[in-house]
């Protein structure tokens, strides 16, 4: 069997932007992927998994400066001698953060761009695009702007791009995140297709992985480790902290005042302006409630309206009809936004300052009852709690750490209710559970949106689902 990917004695250290020396992410890291094989690399978050993917597809250190040593060969070609755009037919990459990869104005143009770059015949391009749109359920979204897609729809677009391009090596970083059960099954079937070479990187071991991969590797202490599978998983769960007790199981919240958030007879409508074939989307919410200290899950297919409903709860949008109440008082708009914290799927939409310290300080500086000393103490304590370095620049932090920063900002806002939209994406179970426990410790009511049934079972006390445009109790 031919070798598709060979990584030998790889070492990498990011360039420091804050004057501090960076620790190497990898040292003498080596592994191979055989052509036609299915390989899974497991790694706890913030240990270099996504950086490894970016190095393999040729964009790091070219666009993410750092010092790289060692060698990588793709199908016998030295990666160091190639430009990233020369790898289109050799390696296709799906990022854990879909929004960082979009470049076109519509779904169809996104699929067409790499095919045009290869100079394919227009008829051949058309056939490939139509097939990929069909396979990933995107026909009705072909004219849609990325800005009007849900997180799961964005992930399916990137998978459809790979389907149309069909490179020799599929490189998938947390590709199962954001997808509902139907599309998780589709991705699993796509990975398993004979002849396709696939490398998946993940920070959680999902039930979908059990019968798919020829080899499972572990990124441990800056190197790739090969162990018998049971032993490897035991070590991985230990590294992730997933062998520790669930911090929510015995948590006793401090509830100074019992509060409730409820909805009745809500009607939500939304139309995607960029989608030519789109009808007006409608969601009916007969009733919904969450109280102080409660953990409530919300599940449903991609594009079913989970995020649209969340935008109503936090006052970003207004319902067509019905009401939202807090403590039996009808609330809307700005009043809701000061009581309901909504953590978006993409943390980058809510992080905008140069350093972690400034990001955490921003809201506290606007409070007249907090002095400089208390502000500094709160910010430092919060950074320790969420594992953050105050001098770090958010834009150069890993995606999971940016999610931790997003949560830390809301922790300091002390909202009585929080909506966590796909918080668990790209995080280990333990790290996501710890974030929830921090947000809940002062009695906040939590609404968690997730597609991961394993994670929901660790969190939810009760739940809701969306079925054919209607929110129902699970």
Residues 198 and 271 in one domain: no
Residues 209 and 347 in one domain: no
At 296, which helix (H) or strand (E)? strand 295-299
Residues 218 and 319 in one domain: no
Q: What is the pLDDT of residue 278?
A: 64
Residues 336 and 410 in one domain: yes
Q: Does the structure show a pLDDT above 90 at 451?
A: no
**Across the strands, what pairs with 267?**
284, 321
Q: Is residue 252 part of a domain?
A: no
pTM listed for this prediction: 0.90
Q: Is residue 41 part of a domain?
A: yes
Residues 163 and 23 in one domain: yes
CB 384 within 8 A of CB 417: no
Q: Does the structure show a pLDDT above 80 at 391?
A: yes
**Across the strands, what pairs with 448?**
297, 420
- Quick one: 1 exposed, middle or buried, by C-beta within 10 A (0-12, 13-18, 19+)? exposed
Residues 125 and 54 in one domain: yes
* Overall domain count for the chain: 2
Residues 323 and 402 in one domain: yes
CB 290 within 8 A of CB 445: yes
Sequence-separated contacts (24+) of 98-101 with Cβ below 8 Å? 98/151, 98/154, 98/155, 98/157, 98/158, 98/178, 99/146, 99/154, 99/346, 99/348, 101/158
Quote the domain boundaries for residue 396: 260-473
Is the Cα torsion angle 474, 181, 155, 73 positive or negative in sign?
positive
CATH number, domain at 81? 3.40.50.300
Q: For the segment 315-335, what is each residue's pLDDT rounded down to a tens digit?
A: 999 999 999 999 999 998 889
Q: Is residue 432 part of a domain?
A: yes
Q: Does the structure show a pLDDT above 80 at 88?
A: yes
Which residues, 6 or more positions from 90, have their beta carbon under 8 angstroms from its beta carbon? 74, 75, 77, 167, 168, 169
What length does the chain have?
474
Looking at per-residue pLDDT, the higher value among 333 and 314 belongs to: 314
Q: What is the mean pLDDT of the chain?
A: 92
CB 32 within 8 A of CB 3: yes
User: Tokens standing for 325?
Assistant: 């109440």
What band does 150 get if pLDDT is binned at 50, 70 and 90?
A: confident
At 125, which helix (H) or strand (E)? helix 122-135
Q: Does the structure show a pLDDT above 90 at 426?
A: no
Q: What is the pLDDT of residue 449?
A: 94
Residues 205 and 273 in one domain: no
Q: Does the structure show a pLDDT above 90 at 380?
A: yes
- Quick one: 217 exposed, middle or buried, by C-beta within 10 A (0-12, 13-18, 19+)? buried
Q: For the segment 297-307, what is each residue's pLDDT rounded down to a tens digit?
A: 999 888 888 98
What band does 18 get if pLDDT is binned at 50, 70 and 90?
A: low
Residues 181 and 302 in one domain: no
CA distance 245 to 247: 6
CA distance 77 to 445: 54
Q: Is residue 248 part of a domain?
A: no
DSSP string, 377-399: HHHHHHHHHTT--TT--GGGS-H
Q: Is residue 247 part of a domain?
A: no
Q: For the segment 453-474, what is each residue's pLDDT rounded down to a tens digit?
A: 888 888 878 999 999 889 999 8
């Amino acid at each position: 069997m031919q070798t598709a990917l060979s990584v030998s004695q790889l070492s990498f250290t990011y360039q420091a932007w804050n004057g501090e020396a960076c620790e190497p992410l990898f040292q003498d890291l080596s592994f191979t992927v055989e052509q036609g094989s299915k390989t899974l690399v497991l790694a706890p978050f913030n240990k270099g998994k996504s950086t490894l993917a970016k190095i393999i597809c040729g964009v790091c250190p070219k666009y993410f400066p750092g010092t790289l040593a060692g060698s990588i060969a793709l199908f016998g070609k030295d990666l160091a001698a190639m430009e990233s755009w020369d790898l289109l037919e050799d390696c296709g990459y799906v990022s854990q953060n879909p929004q960082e990869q979009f470049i076109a104005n519509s779904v169809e143009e996104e699929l067409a761009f790499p095919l045009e770059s290869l100079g394919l015949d227009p008829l051949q391009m058309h056939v490939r695009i139509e097939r990929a749109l069909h396979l990933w359920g995107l026909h009705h979204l072909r004219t849609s702007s990325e800005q009007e897609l849900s997180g799961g729809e964005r992930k399916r677009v990137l998978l459809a791009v790979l389907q149309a391009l069909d490179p020799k090596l599929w490189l998938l970083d947390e590709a199962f995140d954001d997808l509902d059960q139907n599309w998780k099954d589709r991705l699993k079937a796509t990975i398993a297709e004979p002849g396709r070479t696939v490398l998946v990187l993940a920070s959680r071991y999902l039930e979908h992985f059990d019968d798919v991969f020829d080899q499972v590797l572990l990124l441990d202490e800056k190197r790739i480790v090969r162990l018998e599978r049971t032993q490897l998983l035991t070590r991985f769960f230990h590294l992730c902290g997933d062998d520790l007790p669930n911090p929510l199981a015995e948590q006793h919240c401090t509830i100074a005042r019992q509060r409730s958030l409820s909805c009745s007879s809500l009607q939500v409508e939304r139309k995607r302006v960029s989608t030519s074939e789109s009808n007006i989307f409608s969601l009916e919410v007969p009733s919904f409630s969450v109280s102080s200290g409660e953990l409530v899950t919300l599940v449903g297919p991609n594009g079913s309206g989970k995020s649209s409903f969340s935008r109503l709860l936090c006052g970003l949008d207004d319902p067509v009809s019905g009401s939202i109440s807090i403590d039996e008082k009808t609330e809307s708009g700005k009043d809701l936004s000061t009581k309901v914290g909504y953590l978006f799927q993409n943390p980058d939409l809510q992080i905008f300052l140069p350093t972690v310290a400034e990001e955490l300080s921003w809201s506290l500086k606007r409070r007249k009852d907090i002095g400089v000393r208390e502000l500094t103490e709160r910010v430092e304590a919060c950074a320790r709690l969420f594992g953050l370095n105050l001098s770090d620049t958010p834009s150069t932090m890993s995606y999971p750490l940016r999610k931790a920063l997003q949560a830390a900002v809301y922790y300091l806002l002390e909202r009585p209710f929080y909506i966590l939209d796909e918080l668990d994406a790209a995080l280990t179970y333990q790290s996501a559970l710890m974030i929830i426990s921090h947000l809940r410790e002062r009695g906040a009511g939590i609404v968690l949106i997730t597609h991961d049934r394993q994670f929901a079972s660790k969190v939810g006390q009760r739940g809701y689902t969306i079925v054919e445009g209607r929110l129902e109790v699970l």
